[in-house]
Amino acid sequence: MIFARTPTAPLPVPAVWTDRLRTAFLAAIFLSSAAFSSSLPALGRAKGIIDCPAPAYKFSLSACFNQADAVNREIISARHNLPIARAAVTAAGAIPNPQFALQTGFGPTFYNLYTGQTKQALWTEQVQTAGKRRKKIDLARANYRLAEIQLDALRFDLHNRVRRAYAELAASEAYVDLIEAQRRVGSRLMVIAQKRFEAGKAAQSEYLQANLAVLQYDTSENIAKGRLEQASAALSQIIGIKPERVQVFDVDDNGLFKLSAANTDIVPTPDTAMPTLAAMIALAQKARPDLQAAQQQCFVARQALIVAKTRKIPDLFVSGGFVWTNFARHQPPGLVLTPPQSGAFVTVTAEQPILYQYRGEVRQAEANLRQAERQVDLLKSQINSDLITAYTQASVNRANIYKYQKEVLPTAVKVADLARRSYQIGSTDLATAIVAQQQYQQTLVNYFDCVVSYQTAWADLEKAVGVPIKL
């Protein structure tokens, strides 16, 4: 972390810039500062500069992925949908239990011949017609598959958010380092102005002006440290760590922006060849999780429509039973006792869909299917738009980074170095040196912002495609 680093220590630059980007960035900072770093005065912590707490955790990107999968509340909640959907498959395949009925009793109505009341026992079973049971099972299995796809889509979206938050945290650390590097560059010019003033070659106002330029970085440092704390809080929220106080997380510089399992850079170097836009669109049409979920939702709607259409075909209720008599031995006068009688019977009962043919359920299922199909069309159109936007932004950032590496940064270093040396020997005034220094420092900031924008654009591109992009 920056807070324990000496003025001459190298800066931790995110690995997303790769070795070439890191070399260019470090060269831009140190080519103009190494010669005078040993002559800087002790710059203690001035009043008005906030102190960041020491890092509470240190994470790699893969560790953040694993942490989010294990404890993120969205993932935990979505996982419970799987056993619910699995239980629905079991319920849909259940065969209705038979019903048993027994009729018996006591008193004259059962014992006397003139009433003729019999006793009976029967079993009733519901027979599902038109393949309702199989169709309900197909619907439940389609819903279970939808729950699986939705969980995968949520996990991919969560990983994309983790990647963004992790990249923002890494950028925040690098920004703190950038402010410190800019302060050292300004301090070198201040040291030169101080020596010229002490030698009587410059007015005190030049020294004060150079010192003012250094003091202005105090506010920038406060902003950078605040950004670091906010980025740490955002990452802790996503990966499920409950913050008890203001905390700062540290990132694993060696594995920054890499998937450890796949050993692949999440953000490739600008000179790495990118897939064509047409290839990415074709891949997204097959692999994007939310599109797969929408297509599965269409399949679920079709299965629900099939089930709704079968409702107008009534189920059968088949009953079978046994009847018997058990009259008393002594009957009223005039009645002759007959031997006990018994027999068996079968009944079939079915609903008659005369008044209502379940048209409401069918129309509702048809409307749900049309809505699901329109959602698929909308997503396919949105995929193309998202891909074109992200692909263009990533291409522009890659071109700008390459331009910064080859031309802009080396030129800015030369201009700032020449202006500083010219002021040191008295051939130019302080204003010219300060302008050149500000141009150089603004170039560093612009380069930094370009790299951060490239990270964001690549995350957008990966989200638009729906799978990690491996080059």
CB 419 within 8 A of CB 430: no
Task: Report the distance separating Cα 248 and Cα 438, nearest Å.
Answer: 30
Helix, coil or strand: residue 348: strand
Q: What is the pLDDT of residues 169-219, one digit of tens each?
A: 877 777 777 788 778 878 888 888 888 888 888 888 888 888 887 887 777
User: Which segments within 171-282 are labelled E, that is strand?
Assistant: 248-251, 258-259, 264-265
Which position has the token pair 């169709």? 135
CB-CB contact of 226 with 175 (8 Å): no
Per-residue confidence (pLDDT) for residue 275, from 0 to 100: 87
Measured CA to CA, the distance from residue 357 to residue 314 in angstroms comes to: 10
What confidence score (pLDDT) does residue 303 get?
Answer: 96
pLDDT of res. 33: 38
pLDDT for 337: 64
**Residues in the chain, pLDDT under 70:** 1-59, 107-116, 242-266, 327-338, 471
Grouping H, G, I as helix, E, B as strand and the rest as coil, residue 336 is coil
pLDDT, tens digit, 9 for 90 and up, residues 71-105 = 888 888 899 999 999 999 999 999 999 999 998 87
Superfamily of domain 2-465 in the CATH hierarchy: Outer membrane efflux proteins (OEP) (1.20.1600.10)
Looking at residue 30, what is its pLDDT?
36
Give residue 359's pLDDT.
93
Instruction: Check residue 188 and give its pLDDT.
Output: 83
Q: Are 161 and 442 in contact (CB under 8 A)?
A: no
Q: Is 210 within 8 Å of 287 (Cβ atoms)?
A: no
- Whole-number pLDDT of residue 330: 63
- Domain residue ranges of the chain, discontinuous segments joined by +: 2-465
pLDDT by residue (tens digit) across 39-57? 333 333 445 555 555 555 5
Which residue in 448, 446, 458, 409 sits closest to 270, CA to CA? 458
